[in-house]
Amino acid sequence: MVLGWLAVAAFAGSAAFAQQRPKFGLDDVVAKAKALADAPYVAPVSNLPDVFSKMQFADYQKMQPKPERFAWMEYKTPFKLAFYHQGMQFNTPVKISEIVDGAAHEIPYDAGRFDFADLHFDREATSKLGWAGFRVVYPINQPGKLDEIMSVLGASYFRVIGKKQIYGLSGRGLAIDTGLPIAEEFPAFREFWLRRPKPKDRHLTFYALMDSVRASGAYEFTLVPGSDAVLSVKARIFLRQGASPTTLGIAPLTSMFLYGPQQPSQTPNFRPAIHDSNGLAVRGGNGEWIWRPLVNPSMVAISDIAAENPKGFGLLQRGREFSRYEDLKDRYDLRPSAWIEPTNDWGKGNVRLVEIPTADETNDNIVTLWVPENRPPFGEPMRFDYRMHWTMDEPALMKGDVSHVAQTMRATGEVYQSNLIRAGDGTLAFLIDFQGPSLRKLPKGVRPTAAVNASDNVEIVGTELQPNPATQGWRLTYRVKLKNPAASSDLDAVLKLGDRTLTETWKFRLPPSQAATNKETYLNRFKAME
């Protein structure tokens, strides 16, 4: 009888212990990240045989997940999980686990989840390989049809889309020394834990462990699909002792800008614009809105916008009409903008924009990120929480009454002659279309004024502000001359009504002219030889 009572008590005790067992969460990943930061960095070693490491991209794309073998197909959750196979530069495996009832269980690599198409290799070559990343699929566009809505592959990169969107720009977990004249470091996610959603869940939560030479990190991501996809992020970042980065980039976004109306193509092309994003938007902690059109410079260019506790920033694709792009294959009109909305105290720092030269649209040449002014002591994590909005409704981001820059067009400045024929006047002109609620609500007959400024390298020749009845907005023509085309130049403009600011501030950095730079370099070398 006593033994029976003891057995019942032992069972009850073990059941109670199981119920009290802490569930896997962000704190567990933070502990792993701190342990990494406290130890010397250990670089992962490639496990790829030549047949996979020497793959071309076209062959890598042939390795597709089998839909019938998606993870969670046997459960009623609307979310399913597919995987990326190792290959090319994705040469070290990442560990992927699922969290069920609070406990984490590894999802073992299984080559049977993939269709290898017509690729020829010894199937035994896959026996020691693993996952390179994962994809989240969900019926975003129509019931019962699974669409990929998130991709996590390579370093700390990921992409997200909402309803009727296609992949464009990327998010990253962390950027280190981006755009500097030293080697950039690419932190990488090494392990993932995904919480298996319940049938009625409309969100997916997962965790990631990041590591690199000079930093480690723990991340919690919560994805909510919709017309706009929202990805909530909690980042806890540790720096390694004695290996501090020059620049630490929080919430980085990576995109592409080849050309557009603000910097037209130098060669004829049927496409008026090619870009995943056409501008950087920033909302400062004081509520000020700034719009910085992107350029494809002749050399790496870095711009900083100082802020304290910014309310948001992001790379946007303003202008959704198909006629702006005319590209049936790449559909730049359907690529989302990404907006970063901090949800805790970020303190002082800079929103940094890095623009890198590119000759074609296959290279991501635009990066924006938050550079914090202060860093905690070694051993203490930096805490950055934020929401990422992946949207095609850019005007909705601008809460309140402020109007925005709808487009920027660059042209040769011109004047009307006495015979009414237009003639170039040797200036450079920017035509800036402002539109939005503050301008639409102006009483009839009330005119705003344009406040313009420029750096010392710029001579402002003239401005003209006209109503634009097509948009119920106003168009500013801003004509300038450059004193030294080989130097960069900064312009800005904003519309006001008295002391009241009606619009965001347009800020444009005109990069040095490549032709002028080459000429100046040649002349300097010639003088040095004299």
179: in domain: no
CA distances from residue 467 to 41, 406, 471 in whole angstroms, order as listed: 60, 14, 9
Candidates 211, 215, 193, 205; CA nearest to 156 is 211
What is the Cβ-side half-sphere exposure of residue 18, based on CA atoms within 13 angstroms?
7
CA–CA distance, 283 with 291 (Å, rounded to integer): 9
pLDDT digits (tens, 9 = 90+) for 221-268: 999 999 999 999 999 999 998 778 889 999 999 999 999 999 999 999
Collapse the DSSP code of 421 into the 3-class scheme (helix H, G, I; strand E, B; otherwise coil) and give the result: coil
Please report the DSSP string for 63-130 in residue order. -EE-GGG-BTTTS--S-EEEEEEPBTTB-S-BEEEEEETTEEEE----GGGEE-TT----GGGGTT--
230: in domain: no
Residue 66: alpha-carbon gap to chain centroid: 29
pLDDT at site 1 = 43
DSSP secondary-structure letter at 512? Answer: P
pLDDT digits (tens, 9 = 90+) for 33-79: 999 999 999 999 999 998 899 999 999 999 999 999 999 999 999 99
pLDDT digits (tens, 9 = 90+) for 340-388: 999 999 999 999 999 999 999 999 999 999 999 999 888 899 999 999 9
Q: What is the 3-state secondary structure (H, E, C) of 306-362?
A: EEECCCEEEEECCCCCHHHCCCCCCCHHHCCEEEEEECCCCCEEEEEEEECCCCCCC
373: in domain: yes
Same domain assignment for residues 123 and 162: yes
Same domain assignment for residues 309 and 354: yes
CATH of the domain at 312: 2.70.98.10
Domain count, the chain: 3
Q: What are the beta bridge partners of residue 224? A: 230
Same domain assignment for residues 265 and 390: yes
CA–CA distance, 239 with 217 (Å, rounded to integer): 9
| Among candidate residues 359, 375, 394, the one where a domain is terminated | 394
Same domain assignment for residues 349 and 411: no
239: in domain: no
pLDDT at site 75 = 95
Q: Are 147 and 91 in contact (CB under 8 A)?
A: no
pLDDT at site 419 = 77
479: in domain: yes
pLDDT digits (tens, 9 = 90+) for 475-505: 999 999 999 999 999 999 999 999 999 999 9
Same domain assignment for residues 75 and 161: yes
pLDDT digits (tens, 9 = 90+) for 66-123: 999 999 999 999 999 999 999 999 999 999 999 999 999 999 999 999 999 999 888 7
pLDDT at site 21 = 61
| Among candidate residues 349, 369, 394, the one where a domain is terminated | 394
pLDDT at site 242 = 79
Q: Are 464 and 474 in contact (CB under 8 A)?
A: no
Pairing of strands 489-497, 473-482: unpaired
Same domain assignment for residues 370 and 408: no
Query: Taking 90 as the threshold, does the pLDDT of residue 152 lie above it?
Result: yes
Q: Which domain holds residue 502?
A: 404-516
Average pLDDT over residues 402-419: 88
CATH of the domain at 488: 2.60.40.10
CA–CA distance, 95 with 267 (Å, rounded to integer): 46
CA distances from residue 280 to 87, 295, 401, 505 in whole angstroms, order as listed: 34, 11, 20, 12
Average pLDDT score over the chain: 91
pLDDT digits (tens, 9 = 90+) for 166-184: 999 999 999 999 999 999 9
CA–CA distance, 34 with 37 (Å, rounded to integer): 5
CA–CA distance, 192 with 434 (Å, rounded to integer): 44
Q: What is the pTM of this model?
A: 0.91
Same domain assignment for residues 290 and 141: no
- Residue, of 83 and 524, whose pLDDT is higher: 83
| Among candidate residues 370, 394, 418, the one where a domain is terminated | 394
Query: Taking 90 as the threshold, does the pLDDT of residue 425 lie above it?
Result: no
178: in domain: no
The region that residue 183 occupies, defined by phi over 0 for left and psi between -120 and 50 for alpha, beta otherwise, is: beta
Largest CA distance in the chain: 116
CA–CA distance, 176 with 183 (Å, rounded to integer): 9
157: in domain: yes
pLDDT digits (tens, 9 = 90+) for 9-27: 444 444 444 455 679 999 9
Query: Taking 90 as the threshold, does the pLDDT of residue 129 lie above it?
Result: yes
4: in domain: no
pLDDT digits (tens, 9 = 90+) for 265-290: 999 999 999 999 999 999 999 999 99
Same domain assignment for residues 335 and 453: no
Same domain assignment for residues 255 and 370: yes
pLDDT at site 417 = 74
Same domain assignment for residues 40 and 111: yes
Same domain assignment for residues 156 and 38: yes
Same domain assignment for residues 296 and 373: yes
